[in-house]
Amino acid sequence: MSAAALLGGCQSQPKLESDNGWVRLPAVAGRPAAAYFTIKGGARPVSLIDVSSDVAIGSEMHEGGMAMKKVDAVPIPAGGTVTFQPGGRHVMFYNMNPGVKPGRILSLLLTFSDGTRLRQGARVIAAGDPAPES
pLDDT in tens, 45-55: 999 999 999 99
Fold of 14-123: Immunoglobulin-like (2.60.40)
More confident residue, 39 or 65: 39
pLDDT digits (tens, 9 = 90+) for 17-46: 999 999 999 999 889 999 999 999 999 999
Q: Does the pLDDT at position 1 exceed 70?
A: no
User: How many percent of the chain have pLDDT more than 90?
Assistant: 81
Q: 112: how many CB neighbours lie within 10 A of its CB?
A: 19
Give the pLDDT band of residue 68 (cuts 50, 70, 90): confident
pTM for the predicted model, two decimal places:
0.88
Q: What is the mean pLDDT of residues 113-130?
A: 96
Show me where the domains of the chain are located.
14-123
Q: β-pairing, 117-125 with 17-24?
A: parallel
pLDDT at residue 4, as a whole number: 45
